[in-house]
Amino acid sequence: MSEIIIASKNRGKISEIKGIIDVESLFYHDLDSLGFNDEIAETGSSFEENALLKARAVYERYGLPVVADDSGLTVDYLRGAPGIFSARFSGPGATDRENNELLLSMLEGVPPGLRSAYFVCCACFLYDNDRYVTTEGRVGGFITYEPEGENGFGYDPIFYLPAYRKTMAQLAEEEKNLISHRAVSFRKLKPHIEEHFTNQQRHP
């Protein structure tokens, strides 16, 4: 059976990525299952650079194909913040709740029409030392005035989708896996993953 590593410890993200990739006869590792505890410095200046940094760090340790991503929230009123700093917006080791509270406080008094934002995800599939593919997905919406919904993680409870009249955290997992920035990005990546493992089976 072929193996692949999902370079994450976030259970919500791992579950989402598995559901999107869904390639037959593929065994999925993640950083927890491998006992990978190194801190990967996200020193890139873009989502793509950070996704590639994560993938390379994990590939160098295990020598197995890796999928990694870097994603975040960009708020127009805040000139693109929190952007690549989304996960640590309120400081190192920040919780989702702390990040959400900080963002809402920064938008206090800002009217609905100026609360536009989008989620962006850059996914990377690194499969042979320095051979890789990257893809990007985006989804637009608005920042709410308070959290709503119990599903999802990160900024999902305060990200409102006008077409659904719900926040991302109010969507069922199946719905989210159809439209999220991560879904869009990993769906673009899936054919490259399938092609790699098909070729590997043909030419072991």
**Can you tell me which residue has the tokens 């650079």?**
49
Give me the amino acid identity at 137. G
Q: Which pLDDT does position 131 carry in this prediction? A: 93
Q: What are phi and psi of 86, to 5 degrees?
A: -55, -45
Overall fold of domain 2-202: Maf protein (3.90.950)
The CA-atom distances, in angstroms, between 144 and each of 67, 116, 121, 141, 167 are 31, 10, 21, 10, 8
pLDDT level of residue 203 (50, 70, 90 thresholds): low
Percent residues over pLDDT 70 in the chain: 98
Which tokens in the block code for residue 168?
């991302």
What's the pTM? 0.87
Question: Pick the residue with more confidence: 115 or 87?
Answer: 115
Catalytic residues: 70
pLDDT, tens digit, 9 for 90 and up, residues 42-86 = 888 999 999 999 999 999 999 999 999 999 999 999 999 999 999
**Can you tell me which residue has the tokens 């006869």?**
25
Q: Which pLDDT does position 190 carry in this prediction? A: 95
